[in-house]
Structure 1
Amino acid sequence: MSLLITAEQRMLQDALEQLLSRHDPVTTEEAAERLWRQLSDELGVTGLCVPEEFGGAGGTFTDLAAVMEAMGRTLYSGPYLSSAVLAVHALLLSEDTAAQRAHLPDLARGHRLGSVIAPDLCSVDGRISVQAEGDRALLTGSASSVLDGVAADLLIVVAEMGDELSLFTVDASATGMTRVPLTSLDLRRGTAEVTFDGTPARQVGPPGAAAEIMPRLLRIASLAIAAEQAGGADRCLADAGEYAKVRYQFGRPIGSFQAVKHTCADMYQQVRSGHVAVRHAARCLDTGSPESAIAAAMAKAYCTEAYIACAAANLQIHGGMGFTWEENCHLHYRRARASAMWAGTPSRHRQWLADQLLTG
């Protein structure tokens, strides 16, 4: 099983990085919308994971990993993870053809934005419950740190219906819902607190389907976030190396000092190993390997700590400059710390992996 990306995937990465480097960060809603239109209309990445029958490209998980690496390198701040990855795959895993027909074409074209509210993908405050009222389902509860929770046109919510966990869709115009933007540790990514108070919702898939869907969705989320982290670590390595060549101390570049050389060598090893872990997990998901869950957990656990270590080392090599807005060092460190919590922390993944080993 090859762990190299194809020439086409490399071309897509390069085109995506060039576009995002020119236009991100965006400072206005109009600029963000223009960038999203370019991602959709020019590169077609918003429909990358959507099957062709619903207007998408029918891409693979290896394609997705290549895209997320590029977005991690450029600190992309838009709703790609929440909408084109999490919301799309939640609908695909539901196997609800009617819901897929209703929502996937617009998500693929970037005409609508989606997000998912579920444990491990945000902070659910207590529980979100469902009350049946005639032929309607009404949601009650709240969640915080919802990715792109204010911008989303469609929310896909995991809620308790009796003793079962089921999947529901909520339209942005639904009554009884409030969405409050939050300031996140990751200053480049939008999060929100979402509260439901008798909010009408539509069930997706059969009752209790979320219990089976969520572990599979978390594997995909782990892969996507790990790929983004690997890309971010790669950029930290590149920035640290470039700065070490031009920053002089005691009459010579700091890159000539042994301590800096060793730090950069450690970063290189972490970055290369992170790419291998991500691509192995992507190949396992593409082939439906029984090792998919293990590979995704290993990738998320490793890439989380690699990104944090590389971001911290990049800050150290830049010194005081790393904390200024002239450099992105502190923004990478913030994202590294924030993304460590999404789809499970490294310690949680390692505990799960240890349990799998012990139970055989």
Structure 2
Amino acid sequence: MELTWSVEQEQFRAALRGFLDAKATVETLRPHLDEDDPVAAFDRGVWEQLAVQLGAQALAIPEEQGGAGASLAEQLLVLEELGRVLYDGPFLATVIATAVLNTIGPAAAGALLQGIAEGATVATLAEAEGDAFFRPPADTQVHIAGPTARVTGVKRYVLDGGVADVLLVTATTPEEPALVAVETSAAGVEVTPVRTLDRTRRMATVSLKDAEGTVLAVGADAARALAHACDVAIAALAAEQVGGAARCLELTVEYSKLREQFGRPIGSFQALKHRCADVLVSVEQSRSAVLYAAWASQEDPAELGTAACVAGARASEAYLQAAQENLQMHGGIGYTWEHDAHLYLRRAKSSHQLFGSPAEHRRRLADLVKL
């Protein structure tokens, strides 16, 4: 691919935006913002339509498993659009889970991939044990007996754990890491929703007590799947952040044309023009970084880790900047519950730390390029 979206990809974007405008706007979120039950808040009908009408969940799944045989690039495009409307469904979790399962291969993961492609199965990666993401499992233990396993441990910050059908759990044997698929309905699995700053992204703590699951990978294969999931997760979140940041800028510019002070639209004041221009530069830099990550995923997979770190660091900062300016330039109305500004700021603040802060991305980038 080139470092830009193709005509076909832009046509897909237009179709997706039309679908979201009809089915999943920010306004559709509001009745569920105080909902503590993630299942009640999750519109599975829209999720299934996203799969059936647009094939979004199937994009990066091989055709042999019922997918479209596309790539991470198309998933990043979808995430940018979902970020614009603060979509609260488990698409980010699905992208990460799909990356893990694709790395493992169809022999072990074929049935799960087919369920995801159809929109019938929601899968999420359960790997964080402390406050850091994508670290080798240490406290979650697994006893493997043939193709089945028994898992015991606690996983934190599990994306959409409350609505997931299957957990991809990272664990360790006495000798090596392992990856186990555990159904959330299995005995010994307890999923506890966690209230976070961002009411549009739901997380959970998952406790497993001798829960039975299916072994997907062990040893080097499991470690490789987790490492790839890290790169994909950072790039995917960056794409979503670009969409949110771009929407914040749109809202700011629209309001600055309407709001008047001293008989003039506030957008005519040079100081505010400069602030909007600064946000625009940050958004476009972030979009370019995400496009590079999309390019690397197809043309130079070894470069994906580096590209993801650059995109993650820049997009996190750009989104927070855009969300803060959006709230401040709306003045008093921007601080009210009824306005959308605080929803974008909450998403920006929480995403700023999800999968690592910009400083952590830069430290990892330095390690990757051996600085």
What TM-score comes out, normalization by structure 1 length? 0.93
The answer to whether the 8 A contact 1:226-1:300 is kept is: yes
Q: Which amino acid aligns with 1:279?
A: L
Q: Which deviates further from its counterpart, 137-146 or 22-31?
A: 22-31
The Cα shift of 1:100 comes to 2.1
Distance 2:81 2:118 in 1: 20
Distance 1:46 1:136 in 2: 27
1:117 equivalent in structure 2: 126
Distance 2:279 2:194 in 1: 32
Residue 321 of structure 1, aligned match among 333, 347, 352: 333
User: For 2:163, what is the secondary structure of its paired residue?
Assistant: coil
User: For 1:76, what is the secondary structure of its paired residue?
Assistant: coil
Kindly report the root-mean-square deviation, in angstroms, between the aligned alpha carbons of the 2 structures. Answer: 2.1
What TM-score comes out, normalization by structure 2 length? 0.90
The Cα shift of 1:132 comes to 4.1
The Cα shift of 1:216 comes to 1.2
Q: Which amino acid aligns with 2:15?
A: A
1:69 equivalent in structure 2: 80
CA deviation vs aligned residue, 1:196-227 (integer Å, no higher than 9, x gap): 01111211024342222212111111111100
User: For 1:337, what is the secondary structure of its paired residue?
Assistant: helix
1:311 aligns with 2:320: no
Structure 1 residues 111 and 356: CA distance shift in structure 2, 3 A: closer
Structure 1 residues 67 and 208: CA distance shift in structure 2, 3 A: same
Q: Which amino acid aligns with 1:236?
A: C
The Cα shift of 1:353 comes to 1.8
2:89 equivalent in structure 1: 78
Distance 2:184 2:69 in 1: 27
Structure 1 residues 122 and 315: CA distance shift in structure 2, 3 A: farther
Q: Percent identity?
A: 38
Distance 1:284 1:236 in 2: 28
2:23 equivalent in structure 1: 23
The Cα shift of 1:328 comes to 1.6
Residue 107 of structure 2, aligned match among 98, 106, 117: 98
Q: Which amino acid aligns with 1:183?
A: R
The Cα shift of 1:356 comes to 3.5
The Cα shift of 1:289 comes to 4.2
2:185 equivalent in structure 1: 173
Residue 249 of structure 2, aligned match among 219, 237, 248: 237
The answer to whether the 8 A contact 1:165-1:207 is kept is: yes
2:36 equivalent in structure 1: none
Structure 1 residues 140 and 62: CA distance shift in structure 2, 3 A: same
Structure 2 portions without partners, runs of 5+: 33-39
Structure 1 residues 226 and 342: CA distance shift in structure 2, 3 A: same
Structure 1 portions without partners, runs of 5+: none
Q: Which residues in structure 2 correspond to 1:121-132 (within 5 Å)?
A: 121=133, 127-132=139-144
Residue 155 of structure 1, aligned match among 167, 175, 181: 167
2:61 equivalent in structure 1: 50
2:117 equivalent in structure 1: 108
Distance 2:370 2:204 in 1: 39
Equivalences, count: 357
User: For 2:312, what is the secondary structure of its paired residue?
Assistant: helix
Structure 1 residues 242 and 123: CA distance shift in structure 2, 3 A: farther
Structure 1 residues 102 and 294: CA distance shift in structure 2, 3 A: same
Q: Which amino acid aligns with 2:153?
A: G
